Homo-oligomer: A and B are copies of this chain.
Amino acid sequence: MSDIPLHKVMHALGSPVRLAVVKELLDGDVHQGSEFDFGVGQSTLSHHVKILREAGIVQNDPEGNRCLMSLRSAELDARFPGFVEQLRVLTVAE
Protein backbone atom coordinates (compact mmCIF):
# COMPACT_ATOMS: atom_id res chain seq x y z
CA MET A 1 0.00 0.00 0.00
CA SER A 2 2.78 2.43 0.88
CA ASP A 3 4.09 2.31 -2.67
CA ILE A 4 0.77 3.00 -4.35
CA PRO A 5 0.87 6.40 -6.03
CA LEU A 6 -1.95 8.86 -5.46
CA HIS A 7 -2.88 8.98 -9.15
CA LYS A 8 -3.56 5.25 -9.09
CA VAL A 9 -6.01 5.69 -6.23
CA MET A 10 -7.66 8.60 -8.03
CA HIS A 11 -7.88 6.57 -11.23
CA ALA A 12 -9.51 3.71 -9.35
CA LEU A 13 -12.12 6.13 -8.01
CA GLY A 14 -12.68 7.63 -11.44
CA SER A 15 -15.64 5.51 -12.41
CA PRO A 16 -19.28 5.76 -11.28
CA VAL A 17 -19.46 2.05 -10.48
CA ARG A 18 -16.24 1.96 -8.47
CA LEU A 19 -17.17 5.08 -6.58
CA ALA A 20 -20.57 3.54 -5.80
CA VAL A 21 -18.83 0.41 -4.46
CA VAL A 22 -16.58 2.50 -2.24
CA LYS A 23 -19.56 4.49 -0.99
CA GLU A 24 -21.26 1.28 0.14
CA LEU A 25 -18.09 0.07 1.86
CA LEU A 26 -17.58 3.27 3.83
CA ASP A 27 -19.66 1.78 6.64
CA GLY A 28 -16.63 -0.37 7.45
CA ASP A 29 -18.42 -3.67 7.11
CA VAL A 30 -17.61 -6.64 4.93
CA HIS A 31 -20.08 -6.83 2.06
CA GLN A 32 -20.90 -9.06 -0.83
CA GLY A 33 -21.15 -7.48 -4.23
CA SER A 34 -24.50 -9.19 -4.69
CA GLU A 35 -26.00 -7.12 -1.87
CA PHE A 36 -26.10 -4.10 -4.12
CA ASP A 37 -27.31 -3.22 -7.55
CA PHE A 38 -24.59 -1.27 -9.25
CA GLY A 39 -26.27 -1.65 -12.60
CA VAL A 40 -23.62 -3.98 -14.00
CA GLY A 41 -23.26 -7.72 -14.28
CA GLN A 42 -21.17 -9.87 -11.98
CA SER A 43 -18.15 -10.12 -14.27
CA THR A 44 -18.09 -6.38 -14.85
CA LEU A 45 -18.36 -5.80 -11.13
CA SER A 46 -15.48 -8.20 -10.52
CA HIS A 47 -13.39 -6.23 -12.98
CA HIS A 48 -14.14 -2.99 -11.12
CA VAL A 49 -13.43 -4.56 -7.75
CA LYS A 50 -10.10 -5.82 -9.08
CA ILE A 51 -9.09 -2.27 -10.01
CA LEU A 52 -10.08 -1.07 -6.53
CA ARG A 53 -8.12 -3.92 -4.97
CA GLU A 54 -5.02 -3.23 -7.04
CA ALA A 55 -5.16 0.40 -5.96
CA GLY A 56 -5.18 -0.73 -2.33
CA ILE A 57 -8.66 0.64 -1.71
CA VAL A 58 -10.55 -2.55 -1.03
CA GLN A 59 -9.74 -5.89 0.42
CA ASN A 60 -11.36 -8.60 -1.59
CA ASP A 61 -11.46 -12.11 -0.24
CA PRO A 62 -13.01 -14.48 -2.72
CA GLU A 63 -14.79 -17.06 -0.61
CA GLY A 64 -16.38 -19.75 -2.68
CA ASN A 65 -18.70 -18.11 -5.17
CA ARG A 66 -19.21 -15.06 -3.05
CA CYS A 67 -17.30 -11.86 -3.58
CA LEU A 68 -16.59 -10.47 -0.13
CA MET A 69 -15.10 -7.05 0.05
CA SER A 70 -14.34 -4.30 2.53
CA LEU A 71 -12.65 -0.94 2.54
CA ARG A 72 -9.01 -0.82 3.64
CA SER A 73 -9.73 2.23 5.77
CA ALA A 74 -6.80 1.93 8.16
CA GLU A 75 -4.23 1.43 5.41
CA LEU A 76 -5.72 4.20 3.30
CA ASP A 77 -5.73 6.55 6.25
CA ALA A 78 -2.12 5.77 7.07
CA ARG A 79 -1.05 6.35 3.47
CA PHE A 80 -3.37 9.27 2.62
CA PRO A 81 -4.35 10.98 5.87
CA GLY A 82 -7.90 12.27 5.89
CA PHE A 83 -8.81 10.85 2.51
CA VAL A 84 -11.32 8.26 3.73
CA GLU A 85 -13.17 10.91 5.71
CA GLN A 86 -13.03 13.19 2.68
CA LEU A 87 -14.58 10.47 0.54
CA ARG A 88 -17.30 10.04 3.11
CA VAL A 89 -18.13 13.75 2.95
CA LEU A 90 -17.97 13.95 -0.82
CA THR A 91 -19.92 10.80 -1.65
CA VAL A 92 -22.67 11.68 0.81
CA ALA A 93 -22.88 15.24 -0.48
CA GLU A 94 -23.17 14.09 -4.06
Contacts and interface: CB of A to CB of B under 8 A. Distances in A.
Interface string A73-94: 0000000111100100111011
- Number of chain copies forming the complex: 2
The main secondary structure of chain A at its interface with chain B is: helix
Nearest to A15: B7
B16 A14 contact: no
Nearest to A20: B7
Interface of A: 5-8, 10-16, 18-19, 80-83, 86, 89-91, 93-94
Q: List the 6 shortest-distance A-B pairs measured between CB atoms, nearest first.
A: A11-B14, A10-B13, A10-B14, A14-B14, A7-B19, A86-B86
5 contacts: A6-B19, A6-B90, A11-B14, A11-B15, A13-B14
